[in-house]
A and B are shown apart, each in its own frame.
Chain A
């Protein structure tokens, strides 16, 4: 089997007495969508934060494309090709959609310790932003102020910003958060079109979306992966049903 794009080995993290990540192992191979599911408090968001570098693990290792990135600062991981979206939207609300994406383009095009030349004169940045937006069917929104967009489009911009980093691995943390059924449906289509451009590690609560998008599903319970496999295998796994899916169905 090919070397995994992302490999997490015996990752451990606790906050006070709460163990959020309990000697967790995970492999994400290149290509396709790998979904991460689990009940609330299973440690999904903490895991994403450790992979992206915002939270430092207590022990264990994280390897990206064969390189140990456990101690690498978050911004350097982005340079290596690891970008993320946030569960709680983090966009530049007072900037236009184009300027939002242009900031991502600027991050990849050399130093920003430049103090003299107006950034507005750098046509290449705006052009790249427009190209990214056009590729995602968002060209019509380019001139709008990000904060004035409808929630569903703010969520798309959230993902577009991560994609504009041209990642090899895209971490999507609950991209459907706060969406109604109709918007969620459209967002699933939006994410589906990204699979050609990057490997996706998807954390999502919406089971319909997960089973429609994922090639591989890992189930996280109590900070560990209790099962990993194809959607069909996960659906049929008795332990998963007992620990998670059943509970959800009962709740629904």
Chain B
């Protein structure tokens, strides 16, 4: 196995070991932080599938993230606390939202696509703001984390490991997808959609399937984040959340397998460090982003994967 194939495995082993080293040393807080980072890595990776592999600049990805979170929270309020029921349902609901939003949005291109995805996400934001039965603007508190058989998710380490496992599986599936026939079609569409049509591909259908898959993964991330925070509010669907996910992907590397992960790690750790120094930490984050965009257009992931081909 080559070094570049080995590196992700080493990171995985280190990630598995991390809570067992951190918790006894009194670092439970950092296990929670790492869990949050991984959940955002999952959400950013799903946006990267749309943006980097499919070439669609979606500015409404938080809608699916939020839909997944709300599904779990609403089900919990109605008494359904099993993760085996709630999480797959969160994925399904998010996919359904992506199907409806995608079916309409994907008829547009470029700037119009950016605006219409933004508009749909804001519509969902205001929908949840006005949803009085489920907290309205204040959102919903989760009484307890979802239940999985044989596991105690209230335990930080166990929840961390479940999130890590899901992230690893999703990244592996993303890798398979990128190399598959479907991935080849996405690559072709990103480079020249007109030519793909002229070769006989129904490009709309492929872009829609890509959009729906990404929506489902974002929904899973949403189901996890509500468990991590114990809380969901409409802010999770706000357009600034979509912007945060976009920044993560750009920071990490558009169209690179680990771009979403690298971006989420970099951004959330920067936030953590900078905000402990100054309340103007967003200024520092902006400067770092400026630097990356100017000096490393392929993002942080691009530094590591310089020789590997895109997509």
Give A contacts to B, CB under 8 Å.
52, 54, 73-76, 78-79, 83-84, 86, 90-95, 99, 103-104, 106-108, 111-120, 122, 161-162, 164-165
Contacts and interface: CB of A to CB of B under 8 A. Distances in A.
A76 B176 CA distance: 28
B200 A75 contact: yes
Contacts of A120: 179
Given A112-B185, A117-B181, A75 B176 contact: no
17 contacts: A75-B200, A75-B202, A78-B197, A78-B198, A90-B194, A95-B188, A103-B188, A106-B181, A107-B201, A112-B184, A113-B182, A114-B182, A115-B176, A115-B177, A119-B179, A119-B183, A164-B199
A164 B196 CA distance: 13
Given A112-B185, A112-B206, A107 B199 contact: yes
B200 A115 contact: no
Query: Which 8 interchain pairs have the tightest Cβ spacing?
Result: A78-B200, A90-B195, A107-B200, A112-B181, A114-B181, A118-B179, A92-B191, A107-B199
A86 B195 contact: yes
Interface in B151-185: 176-177, 179-185
B108 interface: no
A47 B200 CA distance: 19
Nearest to B188: A103
B199 A94 contact: no
Nearest to A117: B180
B244 interface: no
B16 interface: no
Nearest to A101: B199
A115 B199 contact: no
B89 to A, nearest CB: 22
A117 B195 CA distance: 24
B182 A95 contact: no
A123 to B, nearest CB: 14
Given A75-B203, A92-B192, A115 B182 contact: yes
B213 to A, nearest CB: 8
Contact of B181 (A93, A104, A119, A162): A119
Greatest chain A CB density within 10 A among B184, B185, B194, B203 is at B184
A231 to B, nearest CB: 29
A94 B191 contact: yes
Contact of B202 (A73, A83, A122): A73
A94 B310 contact: yes
B209 interface: yes
Contacts of B188: 92, 95, 103
A113 B209 contact: yes
A95 B191 contact: yes
A91 B188 CA distance: 9
Contacts of A52: 198
B187 interface: yes
